[in-house]
Every structure is written in C-alpha cells, then in structure tokens.
Amino acid sequence: MALSGEYLDYVLEQLAALGSVRARRMFGGAGLYCDDLFFGIVSGDTLYLRADDLTRAHYTSRALEPFRPYPERPEVSMNYFAVPAEILEDASELTQWGRQSVAVAARAGAPGAPRTRRKRSRARRRGS
C-alpha cells in the first residue's frame, strides 16, 4: 500500500519532540530515524515502532499488529508494531512511545548507529 506524503508529514510533526527525526523513503514506505537510529516504519499510512524482548508485551498486550512486509506471506513479520490512532493523535504520548523505540534501536546496535570497534587480541593481530 502506498504511503501518502500528508500522513508522513503528520507523523513527523507528531514526533518532533523526539529531536532529530527524519524519514527515508524505501520500498513504498518510509523508515524513521532519530539520531541515525532506525526506530520506526511508516507503511500504508500506518506507523510501526520497533520493539524487542523488553518492550514487545507493550504492543502484544494491546493486540497491536506487527509489520508484515510481504502481503502474500502473512506469516512473515518484523519487530515493528502498529501504533493505535489514539496514541498517534496525542503527540506527548507518541513521543514516549517513540523514545522507547529509539532505546530499542540503540540496544540493538541498529544500522546507522555509531559502532565501537572491538579491539582484537594481540595474538590475533600477530596472526597466531
């Protein structure tokens, strides 16, 4: 389903309090980034926020649907869950949900996140 520019603009406006939020169009939708952390997806005029083992119950307890990128394969889903309209319409509440999803992305070392290089052991550097 195509993404409308008006909906994406509305989502970005509602999330403005998060800070540096930007959208990057991809595959008919948009990925949402905050400080280069990929934390949300907008697809088919639905906002999906990233979840992990620590936050998934926040969504599943409300019976919120996961993002399914392939309509022809409904068994395939991702760790992004739909945000209910009443949350989307309340910028303050949505900001809290957004912060939680940004934290998930940070914990996961999301693509685009600053990464620290691991020091290799001396033995490995010497070729031992």
Q: Mind listing the pLDDT tens digit for each residue in 31-87? A: 999 988 999 999 888 999 999 999 989 888 888 888 876 566 656 557 899 999 999
Residue 14: Cβ within 10 Å count: 22
The answer to whether the beta carbons of residues 37 and 18 sit under 8 Å apart is: no
Q: How many domains does the chain have?
A: 1
Using a cut of 0.75, tell me whether the model's pTM lies above it.
yes
State the chain's mean pLDDT as an integer: 81
Helix, strand, coil shares of the chain, percent, nearest 5, are 35, 20, 45
The pLDDT score that the predictor gives to residue 102 is 94
Range of the domain at 59: 5-125
Instruction: For residue 91, give the CATH number of its domain.
Output: 3.30.1460.30
The pLDDT score that the predictor gives to residue 125 is 45
